[in-house]
Every structure is written in structure tokens, then in C-alpha cells.
Structure 1
């Protein structure tokens, strides 16, 4: 007999509903206690209850009955201390939910997603924080990126076989990195970024999380030092020294905010990250940094939601959307399954496939 416990709990957690919430969403067709038994595989719902669960959770019956299994391992959040365990659990459930659909679409198209293009010589040993610069340079060299700014970081990572999930998250959570283990034992790195954040914050989070995927920090480094190394890696990946030296110079005793904001869209990073990169490279000394950060503080840019003027366009993960469109056109997947994978209705899917409408949903 097929049981639905794992899938049911995953879908409920991803929706943010408690057992009682789900019972209420089903007009109390069954009690919260009964739903708990379904999740523990102590009983199996009948067809009417299964339909009601499917409607309340906005997932298909096929999804609830599927026996495919994926799991997240080595989960690491980039978050503020205010983020709670419930928020973390909901993020993990959302990610697993999306990844199961993602992998199913790739499987339907016969695409190999068992490996990713790990940069040569990775993982890179990190004995000191400053070694993060060399690691970023090695990634750029291995992936033939040259020294130009990276236009679309999501597209780069997904082209290299990483799974990137853009989800609206609580503001206390910037992102997450993990490995997804498939039923056949293979693993893939996954990076999650908060879809609600501005582009500069998303890009820094993506680069920061990539650091964790390619680092091998020495055991003597504290957790805080590893985070600082990941920050430095992110700055070096997005803002290679050659670009900064060319645009700002080797040493400055004064700099205007206007000059930094003019460079912000070029490198796709916040002015604050740009200033800190200049500090790492020895371009700005403490007096310059003190003046800049006093101004950042006065403007309120160092406090949540950390919004600066002239925000960079948000990054978006479009590969899953493209694959779903392809799967439908090639007859490899039904419209209903593709719509479910993208978190939209069949009508919305048809509209999205018909043309580049400005108001179409963007999962």
C-alpha cells in the first residue's frame, strides 16, 4: 500500500500550516489528530480526504502518492539570530518541495543532473581568511570568467550544474546552502536565495553560499572566521581586484558617495560591499572607512531592510521555467504537472508559454 506521510508533512510544512490549520482548510473533514496519523503513516486517507488534502495544500494527488525520495544534507543557513527553528523548517520544506519537482522535470527530459561542474582543485583549503581571494580567483579561472563583472550569477551557477532556488523567505533569512541526496545516492549542491531581497543582496548571498560549496576551512578557524572568509570570497568573486584598481585606483584618502554609486551597477554589489572590498584591497584606510560607515549609518542603510538607493535588479532562476516549457512542448510532461512544478495554475502556465507578458507570474 502506498503511504503519504513524508510527502504530506513536507507539503504542509512548506505551506506554513499547522495540523489544525490544515484541518480547518479542509472544513474539518478530518481532525488534526487524524492528519497527524497520516503523516506518521499510521493510517491512509480515503479518496475523499485525499482530494481535500490535495486541494488544501495545492499539490496534486500524484505528488502525495509518489514514492520518490530526496533529502537535504549539510544544511547551512545564512540568517540573523532572530530566525527561529520553525522558519528554518519551513524553508527546508519549501526547498525540498521545489527540488523534487525540479529533478522530476529533468528526469522527464532525460537530462543528466547527477553531477555538477565543481571548479578545478576545489575544495580549496582555507587556513586564513585572506586566502578567500585566491579561491575566488581560482573559481573565475576554472570557469573561464576572466576579470569582467558577472552579469547574471544565477544563470552562471545553474549552467555549472548547481540548483538555485529563489523563494520568498522571512527577512531574517538571507539564504541557505545544502546538498540534495537523490534516491540513487548521488548528491548535488543547492543554493537558496531570498527572492524578496534586492539584487545586490541576492548576488552577495549567492556568492557567499558558493564559497561554502567550494571551501575546505581549517578546523582551527572559528565559525565566525569561516563566515568572514565567505564574505571576502563573495567580494572578490563579484569585484575582482583588477576592476576595482582600474575604476578606483590603488590608494585613496577621499572618495565621494557619487563615485561609489556610479560603480554600483557595474559590479552588481551594494555600495557598502564595494567599500569593504576596497578596504580588503588596502585602497581605503580606516579614516575613509570610518567616514563612509558613519554616513551609511546616518542614511539607515546598515539597518534592516538594508536598502540603498539605485537597487540592482533582482536575480531570477529561470532554468526550471524553461525546462517546464520544453517538457510540455515535447510531450514529456503534462501541463498540470508542469504547472505544479512552477507553482502556478494551468491557465497561468498557458499564458506564460504564449508570450512574454509583463504580468506573468515568476516562480
Structure 2
């Protein structure tokens, strides 16, 4: 029965039932599509073909039997614009993850096991406890206090699937995906169009949601922000670079710290104030400079911006190229998984972009 997959593909496309009806040139009504989703009826081969084309999936995808259940979604903001937007985000998440798992299965690879803290979730009874949680996860993963060159790669190595999706009102979300006869898969979805410094902070923020047990009365978003700052910029590392007490930090120093830690000017200054390295006067003056230069508004064009693709998750792409090169999937399947045309895929394979 195609109900679950049809509903998922429609949600991932952001289409309503009536919009699907229009997209297939009124071959069937919106009510009929709804019946397919509820497994009350099956489409004919012609309608199935039209639905697959309209939803940018294959017929085989719609007919496949495996199902996943999205569980424990935690949005970066406390609310999302609408139920339709929520369905779109969840649909994108499952759609992308299933493509990811398809490639792992084709290569006979087991998903990397989530390297979660042995002690369980870190209790956060006040915002400052998030600092200890960030330090503990760095110790657990053997990271020391050094900057993290590529956070998306690190998290994937630790068993978290990182997906890049066309999010709108949110920068990221944390989810746990349940798969039939399998362990829950931790997932972080980030906004594809976000600037790289923002992606890094979002990844660290969502990791905070995954490893902390924020107690009642504590603002979970502020705790996750504190975790992200501490995880990306350990206090000892900042002290080593700029000292423990400053009356002001120059833009030149901020640029150097930005390149070192992969964090925005704003995130660095917030961190320095949280740690007492600078006082309120310096904090206000620096943010006045940021405002005057337009760095606090989209597209956040600070000096020294990271390459837009630097924090792009690439493991699925690498595995897909490997599967194609080894002949375990076809060009058309690889193109479907990566969301590309066969021509674009061929160009990527034959003429890889140089770093």
C-alpha cells in the first residue's frame, strides 16, 4: 500500500491535496488522492506515474514497503508558522533520511552508532550548567579544547545524520527517527540557505538539545545557545587567545577569532560577555558597530565570511558517488537520491569541483 509514502512525498513537496490534483492535470480528484493516502484505494498505473512525476519521486519509491516514523521533533523556535509548514518540514526530514539510508543499505553499510554520553543526558538546572554539558561532551569525544574544523563531519562521525533542507522560518531541528526493526536514528536538519557560521551554531545548538536534560523553569533555547557557544568556543581556548579580562576587543581580533572558531562576530561577543571577559559597556559598543555596518540583518555580511558550502553535510553525497562507481546503484537512482538531473550528476562525477 502506498499511503504512507504518498503522504510523505506530498508533505516533502509542500503541496496540498488540491495542488496535487492540479499538478497531475486533474487525472483524479483531491478526494481520490486522500483515499490513496489513507490506503482506502490504489491508483491506476497511469495515475501512479503522474503522481510520481508531480512529487519528484520514482514509482518504485511510492510502492516500496519500508516505513519510518519521525519522533521527538524539537524545532529551533518554540512554534512554527502552520501545521502545513510543520508537515512540510517533517516530510523533508523523512524524505532526505530515507534517501540517505537507501545508499547505506546499497553499500551494505550499517549506520554509524550514535556515540551518546555514557552518563545519559546532562542535567541543566540553570543556564550555566550548559557550560558543563558542553565540556563533558568534548571530553567524552576526546576533542580537548581545540577549535572544530568541520562540525557537520564530526557529528556524522559520531552517528548523527545531518540533513540539509529547504527550511523557511526555522534554522534547524532535532529529531529521532524510528525505523522498522532498527535503533532510533538521531537527526539534525539545518537550513540549506543559511550562512556557514549560522549553520555551525545551529548544529551545536541542536546537539545541546540532544544531550541535555533541561529542568523545568530553565529556558531550553537559552541553555542550548549557551551549550553551542561553549562547545564551539571553550573558555580555556578563548582565554588563551585574548586573555581573561579586556576593556575592548578590536574588529581585527574578532576577525581572527572568527577564522579560528568558525563563529560570527555576534556569537563571539556574546560568549565574551557571558564569560566576563568584557563588560556591558564594551558589549554595547561592539553591537553598536555591528548595527552601523548592517551585520545584524540578513544576509549578515560580516567580514571574513566562511565559504557557504563549508558546513554542508557531504557524507551522503560521498557514499552515493561510491555506490555509483561500484555499480551497486544506477545513474538514475543516484540522481534521484541526490535530487539532481542525470546530466548534472554526470558533470559532478566527471568534473569534480576543486577545493
TM superposition score category, shorter chain reference: over 0.9
Q: What residue number does 1:270 align with?
A: 264
Secondary structure in structure 2 of the residue aligned to 1:13: helix
Shift of 1:80: 7.3
Output aligned runs, 1:240-279, within 5 Å.
Answer: 240-279=234-273
Whether the 8 Å contact between 1:164 and 1:190 is mirrored in structure 2 is yes
341-350 or 275-284, which deviates more: 341-350
Unaligned runs of 5+ in 1: 359-363
CA offsets per residue over residues 295-350 of structure 1, 9 Å max, x none?
33333333445443332223111100111111222232232222211111223222
Secondary structure in structure 2 of the residue aligned to 1:79: coil
Q: What residue number does 2:319 align with?
A: 323
Whether the 8 Å contact between 1:68 and 1:183 is mirrored in structure 2 is yes
The change in CA–CA distance for 1:121 and 1:101 in structure 2 (over 3 A counts) is same
Aligned Cα root-mean-square deviation (Å): 1.8
The change in CA–CA distance for 1:332 and 1:50 in structure 2 (over 3 A counts) is same
Q: What residue number does 2:158 align with?
A: 160
Q: What residue number does 1:200 align with?
A: 197
Q: What residue number does 1:13 align with?
A: 11
CA offsets per residue over residues 58-113 of structure 1, 9 Å max, x none?
11111000110111111001137573332222111011001111112112222112
Work out the CA distance in 2 between the residues paired with 1:308 and 1:176: 25
Unaligned runs of 5+ in 2: none
Q: What residue number does 2:140 align with?
A: 142
Q: What residue number does 2:171 align with?
A: 174
Q: What residue number does 1:361 align with?
A: none
Normalising by structure 1, report the TM-score. 0.92
Work out the CA distance in 2 between the residues paired with 1:175 and 1:31: 35
Shift of 1:283: 0.3
Work out the CA distance in 2 between the residues paired with 1:36 and 1:175: 30
Work out the CA distance in 2 between the residues paired with 1:114 and 1:310: 34
Work out the CA distance in 2 between the residues paired with 1:81 and 1:102: 28
Work out the CA distance in 2 between the residues paired with 1:297 and 1:122: 41
Q: What residue number does 1:85 align with?
A: 83
Shift of 1:56: 1.2
Output aligned runs, 1:1-363, within 5 Å.
Answer: 3-79=1-77, 83-113=81-111, 115-170=113-168, 172-218=169-215, 220-222=216-218, 225-314=219-308, 315-357=311-353
Whether the 8 Å contact between 1:80 and 1:173 is mirrored in structure 2 is no
Work out the CA distance in 1 between the residues paired with 2:303 and 2:27: 51
Normalising by structure 2, report the TM-score. 0.94
Secondary structure in structure 2 of the residue aligned to 1:110: coil
CA offsets per residue over residues 11-54 of structure 1, 9 Å max, x none?
11111122222222212222222212211211101111111111
CA offsets per residue over residues 157-214 of structure 1, 9 Å max, x none?
00111100011221x2110001010101420110011110101111000000001111
Whether the 8 Å contact between 2:113 and 2:158 is mirrored in structure 1 is no
